[in-house]
Structure 1
Amino acid sequence: MNKCVAIIDIGTNSIKLLVANQERTLLDTIRGSRIGEGIAQKKFIISKPIIERNIQAIHELLNEAEAFKPDHVIITGTSAVRDAENSKEFCQEVKKATGYDVRVLSGEEEATIIAKGVATDPNVEAFNEFCHFDLGGGSLECIHYQNQPESRVLFAESYPLGIVRLTEKFITNPAIKIPQKELLRVQDFIEEELPNFPIKNLPLVATGGGLSTTKNILKTGPILHLNDLEDLLNILSNITVEERIAVYQIPTFRADVMPTALMIIITLAKKANAKSIIHSSFNLRYGLAEEYFRSTS
Structure 2
Amino acid sequence: MQIGIIDIGSNSIKLLIGESNQTGRFDQIRFEVEEKRIGEGMTLKPPRILEADIEKGAKAIARLHQIARPYNLAELKIVATSAVRDAANQTEFATAILDRTGIGIDILSGDDEARLIGKGALQDPDLFDLGNFILIDLGGGSMECIQFENRVQKAHQSFNLGAVRLASSYIENRALPLSPNDERSIEEHVTQTLSHSSARDHSGITTAVLTGGASSILDALLFSRSNSASATISDLQSLCQEICSANLEDRVTRLGIPRERADIFPTAATIIRTALENLKCDVARFTRYNLRAGLIAEMLEN
Give your verdict on TM over 0.5. Answer: yes
Matches of 2:197 and 2:213 in 1, distance apart?
22
Contact preservation (8 Å) 1:171, 1:183: no
Which of 11, 20, 23 is 2:18 aligned to? 20
Structure 1: 5+ residue runs without aligned partners?
A: none
Q: Deviations over 1:107-153 (max 9, x none)?
A: 00101111110111123222332211111110011111233xxx532
Which of 207, 212, 220 is 2:216 aligned to? 212
- Post-superposition shift, 1:272? 1.8
- Aligned-partner SS, 2:198: coil
User: Which is worse superposed, 48-57 or 211-220?
Assistant: 211-220
Partner of 2:301: 294
Superposition map of 1:150-169 within 5 A: 152-169=152-169
- Post-superposition shift, 1:225? 2.4
Contact preservation (8 Å) 2:41, 2:50: no
Which of 256, 261, 269 is 1:262 aligned to? 269
Superposition map of 1:114-129 within 5 A: 114-129=117-132
Matches of 1:251 and 1:27 in 2, distance apart?
21
Partner of 1:130: 133
Matches of 1:74 and 1:129 in 2, distance apart?
31
Partner of 1:80: 83
- Post-superposition shift, 1:163? 0.6
- Post-superposition shift, 1:268? 1.1
Partner of 2:24: none
Structure 2: 5+ residue runs without aligned partners?
A: 22-26
The residue identity in structure 1 corresponding to 2:212 is G
Partner of 1:57: 60
Matches of 1:231 and 1:191 in 2, distance apart?
20
Off by >6 Å, runs of 4+ in structure 1? none
Contact preservation (8 Å) 1:197, 1:272: no
Identity of aligned residues (%): 33
Partner of 1:191: 191
Cα RMSD after superposing both structures = 1.5
- Aligned-partner SS, 1:232: helix
User: Which is worse superposed, 15-24 or 66-75?
Assistant: 66-75
Matches of 2:197 and 2:108 in 1, distance apart?
24
- Post-superposition shift, 1:172? 1.5
User: Which is worse superposed, 270-279 or 216-225?
Assistant: 216-225
Does residue 106 of structure 1 match 2:109? Answer: yes
User: Which is worse superposed, 48-57 or 200-209?
Assistant: 200-209
Contact preservation (8 Å) 2:124, 2:289: yes
- Aligned-partner SS, 1:6: strand
The residue identity in structure 1 corresponding to 2:173 is N
Does residue 141 of structure 1 match 2:144? Answer: yes
- Post-superposition shift, 1:197? 4.5
- Aligned-partner SS, 1:187: helix
Matches of 1:22 and 1:65 in 2, distance apart?
17
Matches of 1:91 and 1:160 in 2, distance apart?
22
Matches of 1:78 and 1:155 in 2, distance apart?
19
Partner of 2:74: 71
- Aligned-partner SS, 2:276: helix
- Post-superposition shift, 1:65? 2.3
User: Which is worse superposed, 89-98 or 23-32?
Assistant: 23-32
Which of 42, 46, 62 is 1:43 aligned to? 46
Matches of 2:42 and 2:259 in 1, distance apart?
19
The residue identity in structure 2 corresponding to 1:22 is S
How many aligned positions are there?
290
Partner of 1:172: 172
> Taking structure 1 as the reference length, what is the TM-score of the superposition?
0.93
User: Which is worse superposed, 259-268 or 190-199?
Assistant: 190-199
Q: Deviations over 1:211-245 (max 9, x none)?
A: 00111222244313222222222222222212211
Matches of 1:193 and 1:249 in 2, distance apart?
31
> Taking structure 2 as the reference length, what is the TM-score of the superposition?
0.91
User: Which is worse superposed, 213-222 or 128-137?
Assistant: 213-222
| Gap change, CA 1:221 and 1:77, over 3 Å in 2 | farther
- Aligned-partner SS, 2:173: coil
